[in-house]
């Protein structure tokens, strides 16, 4: 097992290398010039050229890449062109809102979608099944920002129950912290719930027809025990897999959700950095997201061994 984890961790190095090359190249291929953006509208060509030199953007691309990758290997992700701050410091400032939002969303999505999926499978073909699947289709179809604006209108503007926007750090008070996370988490959870509920339903349905479930029922176990202990446990591998995929979806979703709710997290940082062509920040954030995704996949793979003793690495 430990050998497997070590091998998997080692295999992330070439993956991250490829990500680094792709991100760096894509940013340089994208039109736009950070120096011109920084200089402002009234700047002359000479002003722009001076700034480009200061930022090192006048050097050959290969040289720029070599400098960047060398500093990344030393643990230095560079300095933001705009904020004049270390990118690691920027990420540290922005990571709490994104982590909080992602955690709330995952907890909300899993705690609601898994029971709903099991319920739909258990009551297959009934109105419960159709309602859950209908909701699932809706969750997939409606864009995140539409859900966000609709929730804001109803719960923040019309009913005045919750704030429209913003984020409060946990250390500044739990009530304000959670109050500001409710709407963004629901917004982001809808699509994840749709995905997880569908897969849970399909997976549990398959297991419900298996021999061991029939045996459990024949032994006289109540339905809750049959579903929880025998059906769901054996259906868990695809569900855990899809939760891993959901985390990847979440990374895309926070970008939109943080913009709609004005949450100063990594998603907003990414958007701002892309629009401003802040190369060091975009490169660092995408590297970070890629690393998170690789680690989540590893954790998902390791979870399989806990859920199914037949799986060994």
Residues that bind other proteins (CB under 8 A): 31-33, 36-45, 47-48, 50-51, 54, 82-85, 90, 93-94, 149, 152-153, 156-157, 160, 163-167, 173-176, 259-262, 264, 268-269, 271-272, 275-277
Report the residue number, 100 or 121, with the smaller CB distance to other proteins: 100
Least distance (Å) between residue 270 CB and other proteins: 10
Dihedrals phi, psi of 31, to nearest 5 degrees: -70, 160
Report the residue number, 244 or 264, with the smaller CB distance to other proteins: 264
Report the residue number, 153 or 313, with the smaller CB distance to other proteins: 153
Q: What is the DSSP string of 47-63?
A: HHHHHHHHHTTTS-HHH
Which residue shows structure tokens 């919750």?
162
Dihedrals phi, psi of 264, to nearest 5 degrees: -80, 65
Torsion of CA 285, 189, 146, 164, to 10 degrees: -80
28 close to 60: Cβ distance less than 8 angstroms: no
Least distance (Å) between residue 81 CB and other proteins: 9
Please tell me the distance from the alpha carbon of residue 85 to that of residue 305, in angstroms, as a whole number. Answer: 43
Least distance (Å) between residue 158 CB and other proteins: 10
Least distance (Å) between residue 9 CB and other proteins: 32
| Degrees to nearest 5, angle at CA 124 with 123 and 127 | 75
Report the residue number, 156 or 202, with the smaller CB distance to other proteins: 156
SS3 215: helix
Q: Which token pair is 27?
A: 């940013």
Report the residue number, 27 or 132, with the smaller CB distance to other proteins: 27
Least distance (Å) between residue 167 CB and other proteins: 8
Report the residue number, 44 or 209, with the smaller CB distance to other proteins: 44
Categorise residue 78: left if φ over 0, alpha if ψ from -120 to 50, beta otherwise: left
Least distance (Å) between residue 286 CB and other proteins: 17
Integer angstrom CA distances of residue 34 from 47, 57, 231, 244, 264: 12, 9, 56, 35, 22
Report the residue number, 163 or 244, with the smaller CB distance to other proteins: 163
Q: CB 265: neighbour CB atoms within 10 A?
A: 25
Least distance (Å) between residue 94 CB and other proteins: 7
């Amino acid at each position: 097992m430990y050998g497997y984890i070590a091998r998997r961790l080692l295999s992330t190095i070439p993956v991250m290398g490829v990500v680094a090359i792709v991100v760096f190249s894509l940013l340089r291929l994208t039109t736009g010039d950070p120096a011109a953006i920084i200089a402002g509208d009234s700047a002359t060509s000479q002003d722009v050229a001076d700034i480009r030199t200061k930022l090192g953007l006048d050097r050959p691309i290969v040289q720029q890449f070599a400098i960047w990758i060398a500093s990344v290997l030393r643990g230095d992700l560079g300095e933001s062109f705009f904020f004049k701050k270390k990118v690691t410091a920027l990420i540290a400032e922005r990571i709490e809102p994104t982590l909080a939002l992602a955690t709330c969303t995952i907890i909300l999505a899993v705690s609601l979608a898994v029971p709903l999926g099991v319920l739909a499978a258990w009551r297959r073909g009934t109105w419960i099944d159709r309602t859950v699947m209908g909701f699932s289709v809706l969750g997939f179809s409606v864009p995140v920002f539409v859900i966000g604006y609709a929730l804001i209108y109803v719960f923040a503007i019309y009913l005045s129950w919750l704030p429209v926007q913003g984020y409060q750090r946990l250390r500044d008070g739990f009530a304000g912290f959670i109050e500001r996370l409710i709407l963004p988490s629901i917004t982001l959870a809808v699509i994840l719930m749709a995905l997880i509920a569908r897969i849970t339903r399909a997976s549990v349905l398959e297991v419900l027809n298996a021999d061991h479930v029939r045996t459990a029922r024949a032994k006289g176990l109540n339905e809750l025990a049959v579903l929880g202990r025998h059906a769901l446990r054996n259906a868990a591998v695809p569900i855990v897999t899809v939760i891993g995929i959901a985390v990847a979806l979440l990374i895309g979703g926070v970008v939109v959700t943080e913009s709609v709710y004005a949450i100063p997290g990594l998603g907003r940082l990414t958007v701002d950095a892309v629009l401003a062509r802040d190369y060091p920040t975009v490169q660092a954030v995408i590297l970070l997201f890629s690393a998170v995704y690789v680690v989540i996949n590893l954790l998902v793979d390791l979870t399989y061994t806990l859920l199914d003793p037949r799986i060994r690495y």
